[in-house]
């Protein structure tokens, strides 16, 4: 977001998601620094993490967005607010764009291994469903309403149910 403060006062729709992602990044920072050697700083990070977690939980329910800490890389862009559920075993690369109504989860509740890896510079269209375990390469565009259940190579556009390669990017 280029001007988050201006968007907040002009009631732009993306400032809500900006606030959600900002809180998520602070929560990740406290979570990653909890194992420091200083006992006082450890208590401070744990209490700050607890407060950030409560705020994250409230925003998750309010905006219907669920992203666990340490799942998305820097530059992740959520366009418009709306339902997004990203399961905690997912790793999303840098500069990915995720539109509303996206579900990233596992194929079956019985699966013990369900790692989902999404590469850098990916674009996930509205209504896409990604069911793991699956690996999606870099520079991939997933079309609206696509259901991805198999691995996707780099530099392609996939669409359809189940997702098939529609075009190779150059």
Q: Are both 55 and 44 inside the same structural domain?
A: yes
Q: In whole numbers, what is the pLDDT of the chain averaged over residues? A: 88
CATH label of the domain that carries residue 83: 2.160.10.10
Q: Are both 35 and 87 inside the same structural domain?
A: no
Q: Are both 55 and 91 inside the same structural domain?
A: no
| pLDDT for res 170 | 74
Alpha-carbon span 64 to 5, nearest angstrom: 22
Alpha-carbon span 136 to 118, nearest angstrom: 5
| pLDDT for res 82 | 83
Is the pLDDT reported for residue 10 higher than 80? no
Q: Are 131 and 106 in contact, with CB atoms under 8 Å apart?
A: yes
Who has greater pLDDT, 148 or 106? 148
Q: What is the pTM of this model?
A: 0.84
CA distances from 54 to 47, 61, 63, 96, 137 (A): 11, 11, 14, 26, 34
Is the pLDDT reported for residue 11 higher than 80? no
Is the pLDDT reported for residue 12 higher than 80? no
Length of the chain equals 170
Alpha-carbon span 75 to 60, nearest angstrom: 19
Q: Are both 93 and 150 inside the same structural domain?
A: yes
Q: At what angle do helices 39-63 and 14-32 cross, to 10 degrees?
A: 150
Domain boundary among 34, 63, 92: 63
Mean pLDDT over 62-83 rounds to 87
Domain boundary among 19, 42, 63: 63
Instruction: Name the pairing type of β-strands 141-142 and 102-106.
Output: unpaired
Nearest to 70 by CA among 56, 59, 82: 56
Q: Are both 58 and 70 inside the same structural domain?
A: no
| pLDDT for res 77 | 85
Is the pLDDT reported for residue 139 higher than 90? yes
Q: Are both 4 and 72 inside the same structural domain?
A: no
- Return the active site residues: 77
Who has greater pLDDT, 164 or 9? 164
Q: Are both 37 and 68 inside the same structural domain?
A: no
Domain boundary among 63, 82, 102: 63
Which range, of 22-26, 55-59, 113-117, 118-122, averages the lowest pLDDT? 113-117
Q: Are both 87 and 76 inside the same structural domain?
A: yes
Which range, of 53-57, 61-65, 94-98, 106-110, averages the lowest pLDDT? 106-110
Q: How many domains does the chain have?
A: 2
Range of the domain at 159: 64-170
Q: Are both 68 and 58 inside the same structural domain?
A: no
Q: Are both 40 and 70 inside the same structural domain?
A: no
Which range, of 76-80, 116-120, 150-154, averages the lowest pLDDT? 76-80
Q: Are both 99 and 152 inside the same structural domain?
A: yes
Q: Are both 76 and 57 inside the same structural domain?
A: no
Nearest to 33 by CA among 46, 22, 17, 24: 46
């Amino acid at each position: 977001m280029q001007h988050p403060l201006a968007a907040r006062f002009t009631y732009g729709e993306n400032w809500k998601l900006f606030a959600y992602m900002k809180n998520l990044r602070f929560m990740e920072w406290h979570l990653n620094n909890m194992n420091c050697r200083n006992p006082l700083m450890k208590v401070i990070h744990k209490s700050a993490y607890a407060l950030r977690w409560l705020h994250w939980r409230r925003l998750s329910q309010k905006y219907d967005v669920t992203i666990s800490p340490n799942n998305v890389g820097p530059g992740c862009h959520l366009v418009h607010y709306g339902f997004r559920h990203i399961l905690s075993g997912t790793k999303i690369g840098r500069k990915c764009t995720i539109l509303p109504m996206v579900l990233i989860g596992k194929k079956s509740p019985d699966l013990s291994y369900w790692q989902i890896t999404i590469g850098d510079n990916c674009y996930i269209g509205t209504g896409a469903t990604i069911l793991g375990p699956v690996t999606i390469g870099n520079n991939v565009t997933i079309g609206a309403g696509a259901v991805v259940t198999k691995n996707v190579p780099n530099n392609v556009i996939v669409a359809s149910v189940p997702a098939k390669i529609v075009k190779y990017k150059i």
